[in-house]
Amino acid sequence: MDADEFRKAAHAAIEDIIQYNTNVANNTHPVLPSIKPGYLAPQLPKAAPEHPQSWQDIQPDITSKIIPGLTHWQSPNFMAFFPACATYPSILGEMYSSAFTAPAFNWLCSPACTELETIVLDWLADALHLPTDFRSDSPGGGGGVIQGSASEAIVTIMVAARERYLHRKCDAEGLPNPSPERDARIAGLRSKLVALSSDQAHSSTAKGAIIAGTFHRTVKTSFEDELAVHPDALEATLRKCIADGLEPYYITLSYGTTSTCAQDPLHLLAPVLQNYPDIWIHIDAAYAGTALVCPEYANPPEGASSTTEAMTNGTSPSSQPLQKPTGLLPQGPSILCQVDSFNTNMHKWLLVSFDASLLYVRSRRDLTSALSVSPAYLQNKHTDSGLVTDYRDWQIPLGRRFRALKIWFVVRSYGIEGLRAHIRRTVRVGEHCAKLVTESKDGKELFELVTKPAFGLTCFRIRPDAIPRALVRRSSALDANSTENVETESTMNGSPFGTVEQQDEVAQNQSKQQSLTKMQPTQAAEDL
Ligand code: PLP
């Protein structure tokens, strides 16, 4: 394909992409494809083409063969997992990134890749109200890096945590480095290391422990505590690990768990963890962390609960549930100064297309001393000067994509106020849905909330007594009303593509739609 052919092909592809997004926004596609497993192979040749094909031959296959097999994450009716908010500025960033293809593992491999990444990560640290410790210019040597996924960020951190723990122990015991005694001690300790997370934390911590070659234990949570970690449960788990001869070296605390967006209350857990100063504290805020762009999340009003008071007063909180889990940051972001690392995914909720996972650390040395390997072919005078960042030492792979571009484009195109507006709109969607569950006649009869709505998520379930009610209502006149609702719904539009004002309208539609989709009595009865 030469430049002229590319120009034509690219224009045609962009038209295709715009058409696709418009169709998805207009609900032209059902969210799930209706194909069967193995649908694609019979439609494609058994072997790769021997001879070149033209774009005119290739492009139509997108519509005829690929789109029918897509799950439409951008659809306003998509309500699984987490939002996927791709936007046009983000797509443009991907285009340039692909055009510049530079696996910029060292600063020298493309200084702009590294320097832009450092700059946008600092912008975002400020925009998310993170402590200045996480900025690249912090005296403690903190900084941020873009990873492909939260799972990748977490396993990377777990390896750094493991190495820091082992070496701190050996240093404390005065074992020379290197020395055979140290190696023997490390081998012994390694077999006892245990990582912790709550039973609600994302499975990436369990997987990270497998990859890091350590044990993993969970802290039990309860509905009484809104599925957040209670300090007593944490203390009990830590004590049990130690009684079992294990060495707790790492903990994931969640700011927004996958199932219900529970928030482990750092202000209550920090006093427990202070007694275990070698444990690395990581905050996994994969989805909810981007809400910190709004001051009302980053600096929620003082609400430090009665449990905190009970603890400082010496009255045991053991019999008290966390009456009102106030979230990770009830005392503002300063509480985050006690954690070692923090991750959040822009590709979940902040208008950047997959993949863009932000990872911040308080000490880059923890990462680089665990992960830096420097064969001759990676050495250069800039690295030796100590004046540049080589992100290869902050991650598992060597090569890396130019992801900072799409983040840069999104932040500039929307402005921080646009990002805040997006978060607030989508939170309102969740609140609207919760209202319909708790306040509407249909909602109250058929559904109940599982946990308090959190961020944009409303978790509700069918009431145990809803089945007989729904069956009765199925034959009633109400069915006619719900059919009307379905028709209204099918005309609605929704997409994160467009201006803030357009999106406002979209969000209102999505809100209505989300609620209606979940609230169809007839549908509920049929599903049962
Ligand atoms: N952490 C939380 C809280 C999540 O909800 C998820 C995924 O939904 C992950 C981590 C893993 O994300 P990723 O797909 O970026 O690895």
Q: DSSP letters along 47-85, please? A: S--SS---HHHHTHHIIIIIGGG---TTSTT--SSS---
**pLDDT score recorded for residue 375:** 92
- Assess whether the C-beta atom of 343 lies below 6 angstroms from ligand 1: no
Atom of ligand 1 nearest to the CA of 82: 8
**pLDDT score recorded for residue 506:** 43
* Cβ 33 vs Cβ 68: under 8 Å: yes
At residue 321, does pLDDT exceed 80?
Answer: no
Distance 77 CA to ligand 1 centre (A): 21
pLDDT tier at 334, thresholds 50, 70, 90? low
Predicted confidence (pLDDT) per residue in 110-161, tens digit: 999 999 999 999 999 999 999 999 999 999 999 999 999 999 999 999 999 9
H/E run at residue 210: helix 204-212
Distance 27 CA to ligand 1 centre (A): 27
Domains for the chain: give ranges and CATH numbers: 3-30+33-70 (1.20.1340.10), 107-402 (3.40.640.10), 416-527 (no CATH)
Q: Is 353 left (phi over 0), alpha (psi -120 to 50) or beta?
A: beta
Atom of ligand 1 nearest to the CA of 254: 3
Atom of ligand 1 nearest to the CA of 152: 16
Predicted confidence (pLDDT) per residue in 395-440, tens digit: 999 999 999 999 999 999 999 999 999 999 999 999 999 999 999 9
Interface confidence, given as ipTM, is 0.98
Distance 187 CA to ligand 1 centre (A): 31
Distance 152 CA to ligand 1 centre (A): 10
Predicted confidence (pLDDT) per residue in 455-464, tens digit: 999 999 998 8
Cα distance between residue 225 and residue 164, in whole Å: 32
Flag the least confident range among 156-165, 300-309, 362-371.
300-309
Range 30-34 average pLDDT = 94
pLDDT tier at 83, thresholds 50, 70, 90? confident
Question: Residue 213: which of 171, 257, 250 has the closest Cα?
Answer: 250
| pTM listed for this prediction | 0.86
At residue 474, does pLDDT exceed 80?
Answer: no
Atom of ligand 1 nearest to the CA of 357: 15
